[in-house]
Structures are given as structure tokens and as C-alpha cells.
Structure 1
């Protein structure tokens, strides 16, 4: 496999690359992570099964889009590829600051600036991609409430139902989602899509993000995600609100927007996330 990786890198950078050092890194999911270098060029290699190539290619698309449409430092995608057994993505190696940096203000400002661009008239994306390892459908919709209710909540409920897990009558929750979002005025923004602390950092104090699940939607989705698992420092939210204030009643919509990643965790990990999802749904419908 590593011969294939070396060959793909060589073709991508138009130089003969043969790694002289390789080490495996800790990973929070099923992908295997490696650092690869020839002493001059340094790369992060993410390795998955061959069947996962489409997921890695969608990550590459998201990274390039973020690089073109934001002020974040985005790792360059060098190449994606596969051999008979494995798929891989080769990324620029970024040495992130070891300690959380004090400039969370800049992270908030950078996200607000990206969200402030409204270049799309509809909600969705040109291709389906992935939230973690789950397919994320992105069919274009004119109405945000319909997109989110069907392409996000409805889809996750369908995946759970296929596993024999049913928290609620799907149409009831889908209709309740549409009802709660129907009057909310939204202009499509480019979203990171998986905006939580584990997918961001600082490179010499410059905000950087990675592992995207991009699409065009309500900017509040990124903010709600950031508050769910490990809320960011208050400087982030203060700066974001200074540059692009949130709409009234965001706190009510936050519950709806946090349900999607909770359902996704329930689909991937089961366990206590099933209980959390059930309780979250009950709160929304009460």
C-alpha cells in the first residue's frame, strides 16, 4: 500500500517521493492516521477501506471549498487514491499550537466572515458527502425548513429505523421540525458542517479547520454544533456576534440543530447516545 501512496504523492507534486519515516498516530474513529515524510516533505495520511474512497474524496472537495471561501488556514489536499484493499487521502502536515491559543476571537471572526457570504440561492450541495462516516444527503431545496427536516432529521431517522430503532413516528418529528423552522428567515451560507472543537485549532495563532462536512444552509447550524460537545471559549461567541449577530430565537432553534449530530452519534456509536437522542426528541416535542 505504501508504494501506491508514494507513487500518488510523486505524481501529485511532480517529484520522486519515497518516505523515509512513517509513524501511526492516534485516531478517534475507524480511519488510521499516519505521518509520512522523506525528510523534506511532510504529510498526514488518512487510511480507510477501499469502499470508503468516496468519503475521502468528499473531504477533499470540502477542504478546497473552505480554502476558496474563508480566511481559515486549511490543510492542502495533496491527493486521494486507493489500491486493491485500502483508500487514502494525503494532506498537508500542520503542526498545530500545543496549547489552546488565546485568539479565539479570530476563530469567531473568521467563521462570521465565511457565513456572511451568501453566494447560493438554495440549500444543499452539488454532491452528497459525509458527517463523520455517515452519508449526508444534500439535494438542493428552495426552502430551508424542508431541507433540514427531510435531508437531515428524516434521513437520520430512516437510518435508525433500518437498524430497528424507532424513537418517534418519523412524520411527526419531520413535520414538527418544518413547523418550528418555517417562519425563520435564512440566507444560505457555506457551512463547515461538523464545527466542533476536535475539528479546529491554531497554526501559529492562525485559526484552522479541517474534517469538513460542507453544504449551504443556516449558519446557526455551525454555532449550535460548536456548543454541543465541548463549547468554545466565550471570546469565540462574542466575536462572532460582533461581526454577524445571530437572529432572534436562536436558543429555540439550537435544540433542533443539535438533534442532527446527536442522531448521527446514535447511528454510529449507539450506547448512551440512543438515550440522549430519545430525551432530546421528547424535549423538542413536549
Structure 2
């Protein structure tokens, strides 16, 4: 793997700095190279390439909004020893303390970004002949308005792939491609028949959580818990995303489950995106997805939290 990294990065030097990092899913290591430092994430699971491709595309999508800062993805490579690696820009980070307010503001602006693109698109389409101001030479990575919920590629929350097939309706997307998908995996993997009965009682009630609510697709980080945020010397940083376009409220569900976000963060966020009626009930509905996901990832450790 070292020789492959040297070749791809065009470096003679490849030396571990000792600033490694890892979590429940991946291992990571910072390396000195000829031009500076990079961070390399490793995972030897068969689905690692799919997971890292999704993470790389998520980081690119977030970066394109010019809101919250993320490490730049450099390469996704198949690991000759099994699995895959993701090579990232190295950022010197520490725990989030000083920049909580800024993170709340930047996250809200990221969630509002797609709606702003939609408004701009409508204004441009109203010009002469409805041709707008489209420039064929525009940067192909420039974000465009997304009218549907989903994402152009698979992303993984933990190591579990998410069904990001585009859908016009958010309640349908969330019920079928998030909750029902997880519950089917639980029944299949653990033989738990009770989840089918519980889901049959809940699924018909899901639309009630969204009555009289207009939902614009927002680009989401997708796994914004306290372990996936930090700060550099210049501001907040988020990483390890599992992005898709969804309801902005979904983002705050896992943020509230494990701590790491203070009242300043929430105040700054809701100053730009106030809570809509029914927020608290939907918050619990959105947390259900993450509890189910943790049940699948961490086996029965989380069963008491779900049940």
C-alpha cells in the first residue's frame, strides 16, 4: 500500500507522523509527504470502496456550497491488501469549543443553500425566452439546484449503505428508504419479527408528522454527531459525512443524541432556520433512524435505547 500511495501522490517521502486517528468503522493515519501532510483512512471491508466513494462525493458537495469547511478529498484507492483507502487533505484539528456559534450559522447556511440555488434558477429562467444565463463553460463541479430528495451515489452511515434513489416526496423517501430499509435489515439479519408488526403500526402515521409542512431539499452532512465535528485555528470543520438531500431537521437528530453541541450552536442555527410546528415530534422520528442504524452496526448494544 505504501508504494501505491507514493506513486499516486507523486512523493518519495511517506512517513507516519504519529497523529493517527480512527473510530468504530475506520482507521486513519497522517503521513508526511514531499509537499506537506495528508491523512489516509483505511477500511478492509469488501464494501469499503463504495463507502469511501460516497464520502468523497459528500465532501465535494459540501465544499461546493462554500459554507462549512471540510477536508478536501484527494484520492480513493483500492487497497491491494483488501478494502480501500481514502486520502484527504490533512487539517490540524481539536475539539469544538470556540467556534460553536459559527458552526451553527454555517450549517444553517448549508441547509439553505439549495433553496437559494432554486430561487436563482427561477429568476434566470424568467429572462428572455426562458433561456436563463447558462454558460456551457461553467465549472462542472458547480452545485445545481436539486428538486428531489436523495443523492447521486450511495453513501454510508457507519458502514451501512443508504438507499439514495431520488424521490419527489420527503415523507415517502424517509419512510421507505430510511426507516423501512433499516427495519428490513434488522428482521433479515437478526430474525426479529416484532419489528415488522411495529413498523406496520407506525408507517401509516408517518405522513401525520408532516402535515401543512413545505419541505425543500437541503444538502445534509448526514451523520453530524459530536465525533464528526472539530475546529481548526480558523473555524469549525466537519468530516466523515454521509450526505444526501433531505429535510434539514433530520440533521439535528443525531446531533442531539450523543452531545458535543452546546446551546450556542443551536441558537445560531435556529436564528437562521426557526423551528417549525411539530419539530419535537419529528425530532424523535428522525432519531429513530439513527438508533436503528446503531443497532445494526453495534449489534444488540443499542437494543435498550431502541426498545
Aligned equivalents of 1:29 and 1:112: distance in 2? 28
- Residue number among 219, 234, 251 corresponding to 1:190 in the alignment: 219
Question: For residues 232 and 134 of structure 1, what CA distance do their matches in structure 2 show?
Answer: 25
Question: Residue 256 of structure 2 aligns to a residue in which SS?
Answer: helix
What SS does the corresponding residue of 2:180 show, helix, strand or coil? Answer: helix
1:142 is matched with which residue: 168, 177, 202?
168
1:50 shift after superposition: 6.1
Which of 180, 187, 195 aligns to 2:209? It is: 180
Q: 1:261 to 1:243 in 2, by over 3 A?
A: same
2:115 counterpart of 1:94: no
Q: What whole-Å deviation, never above 9, does each CA across 1:170-200 have from its counterpart, x for those lacking one? A: 3333222233235432111111101111111
Aligned match of 2:39 in 44, 47, 52?
A: 44
Q: Matched residues in 1 for 2:240 and 2:34: separation?
A: 26
* CA distance in structure 2 between the partners assigned to 1:199 and 1:162 by the alignment: 30
Aligned partner of 2:151 in structure 1 is 125
Unaligned runs of 5+ in 2: 116-144
| Unpaired runs of at least 5, structure 1 | 11-15, 279-286
Q: Distance in 2 between matches of 1:166 and 1:7?
A: 51
2:122 alignment counterpart:
none
2:102 aligns with one of 100, 106, 119: 106
Q: What do the CA deviations read for 1:242-271 (whole angstroms, capped 9, x no partner)?
A: 112121220111000000111000001023
User: Alignment partner of 1:228: what SS?
Assistant: coil
Q: 1:139 to 1:171 in 2, by over 3 A?
A: farther
Q: What is the CA–CA distance in structure 2 between the aligned matches of 1:24 and 1:201, rounded to whole Å? A: 15
Whole-Å separation in 1 of the counterparts to 2:270 and 2:19: 40
- CA-based RMSD of the aligned residues comes to 1.8
User: How far apart in 2 are the matches of 1:231 and 1:19?
Assistant: 34
TM-score by length of 2: 0.83
CA apart distance, 1:2:
1.2
Contact 1:50 1:83 in 2 (8 A): no
* C-alpha contact (below 8 Å) 1:20/1:37 kept by paired residues: yes
Is the 2:96–2:229 Cα contact (8 Å) retained in structure 1?
no
**Aligned to 1:74, which of 70, 74, 94?**
70
| 2:13–2:34 contact (8 Å) kept in structure 1 | no
* Number of equivalences: 272
The residue that corresponds to 2:5 in the other structure is 5
Inter-partner Cα distance in structure 1 for 2:288 and 2:78: 34
Tell me how far 1:22 sits from its aligned partner.
5.1
**C-alpha contact 2:74 2:87 (8 A) present in aligned 1:** yes
Task: Using structure 1 for the length normalisation, give the TM-score.
Answer: 0.89
CA distance in 2, matches of 1:167, 1:261: 19
Counterpart-to-counterpart distance in 1, 2:229 and 2:25 = 19
Rounded to whole Å, the distance in 2 between the matches of 1:226 and 1:106 is: 16
Q: 1:165 is matched with which residue: 173, 189, 192?
A: 192
1:100 Cα deviation after fit: 3.4
| Alignment of 1:63 onto 2:92 | no
Shift of residue 43, structure 1, vs aligned partner: 1.1
